[in-house]
């Protein structure tokens, strides 16, 4: 499996944010998207996840065991917001997402209890999501990635609000995902602790400079 982005350009409103961004990532690899505030990292991730249209270019999944029509179908997207209802319990939220997503062919999500345990919060499934601390809420948002299988994880500032232990826990989740043949693309200002991750530097309107290849 290979994720191939070719000549991507995107606008927000009327403004061109980046142009001609190209990269390829193979199964088992992570790509860290870096750059100054406003350089277009979130915009690029939203294009890859299918949440924003590209002005030009394509992003496709090649040689996938089970081909998808659009890349977004193969992606989990963890944005700045946690995508959980504050009034529902943690368990209700995760049960909803598990049923809503279902598994894509080629993998299987884990149970809600196991996912909560994997993010270190097995004992608080009964609490309304809104009662959780900011860091606990972020951990539970990560549990959403585990309850349904998607080969590509798109992560925007995933470790904001997390303590050091949670950062290490998250690095473990991503490493495990890569070991299962997944792909991860993360925009971050903080080191994610991923061994051998490649880097893509966004330079804004001038285009993206490929730092590694």
Ligand X SMILES: Nc1ncnc2c1ncn2[C@@H]1O[C@H](COP(=O)(O)OP(=O)(O)OP(=O)(O)O)[C@@H](O)[C@H]1O
Among 25, 30, 35, 154, the residue binding ligand X under the rule CB under 6 A is 35
Residue closer to ligand X by CB (options 39, 136) is 39
Beta bridge partners of 201: 34, 209
Q: How far apart are CA 202 and CA 39, in angstroms?
A: 6
Q: Which residues of 55-83 are buried (b: 16+ CB within 10 A; e: fewer)?
A: eebebebeebeeebeebbebbbbbbeebe
39 binds ligand X (CB under 6 A): yes
Piece of the chain touching ligand X by CB under 6 A; list 40-48, 91-99, 101-109, 170-178 = 40-48
Which ranges in the chain belong to alpha helices (H)? 41-48, 90-101, 112-118, 134-147, 164-179
N-term to C-term CA, the chain: 19
Piece of the chain touching ligand X by CB under 6 A; list 39-47, 83-91, 93-101, 121-129 = 39-47
Residue closer to ligand X by CB (options 70, 189) is 189
Encoded one letter per residue, x for contact with ligand X by CB under 6 A and - for no contact, window 155-194 reads --------------------------------x-------
Residue closer to ligand X by CB (options 47, 132) is 47
Q: Least separation, in Å, of the C-beta of 168 and ligand X?
A: 23
Beta bridge partners of 78: 155
Piece of the chain touching ligand X by CB under 6 A; list 36-44, 121-129, 130-138, 163-171 = 36-44
17 binds ligand X (CB under 6 A): yes
Residue closer to ligand X by CB (options 90, 187) is 187
The 10 Å Cβ neighbour count of residue 205 is 12
Cα 130 to Cα 85, 97, 180: the distances in Å are: 8, 17, 32
Half-sphere exposure of 146 (CA within 13 A, CB side): 21
53 binds ligand X (CB under 6 A): no
42 binds ligand X (CB under 6 A): yes
In a 3-state reduction of DSSP, which class is residue 19? strand
Among 1, 21, 27, 40, the residue binding ligand X under the rule CB under 6 A is 40
* Residues within the interface to ligand X (CB under 6 A): 12-13, 15, 17, 35, 37-43, 187
């Amino acid at each position: 499996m290979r994720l191939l982005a070719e000549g991507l350009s995107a606008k927000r409103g009327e403004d061109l944010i980046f142009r001609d961004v190209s990269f390829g990532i193979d199964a088992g690899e992570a790509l860290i998207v870096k750059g100054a505030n406003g350089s277009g990292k979130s915009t690029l991730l939203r294009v890859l996840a299918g949440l924003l249209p590209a002005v030009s270019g394509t992003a496709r999944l090649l040689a996938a065991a089970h081909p998808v029509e659009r890349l977004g179908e193969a992606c989990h997207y963890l944005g700045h917001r946690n995508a959980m209802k504050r009034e529902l319990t943690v368990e209700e939220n995760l049960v909803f997402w598990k049923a809503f997503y279902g598994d894509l062919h080629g993998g299987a999500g884990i149970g809600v209890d196991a996912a909560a345990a994997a993010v270190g919060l097995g004992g608080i499934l009964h609490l309304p999501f809104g009662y959780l601390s900011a860091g606990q809420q972020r951990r539970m948002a990560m549990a959403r990635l585990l309850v349904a299988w998607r080969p590509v994880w798109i992560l925007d500032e995933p470790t904001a609000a997390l303590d050091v232990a949670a950062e290490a826990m998250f690095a473990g989740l991503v490493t495990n995902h890569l070991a299962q043949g997944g792909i991860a693309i993360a925009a971050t200002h903080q080191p994610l602790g991923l061994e051998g991750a490649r880097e893509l530097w966004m330079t804004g309107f001038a285009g993206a400079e490929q730092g590694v290849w």
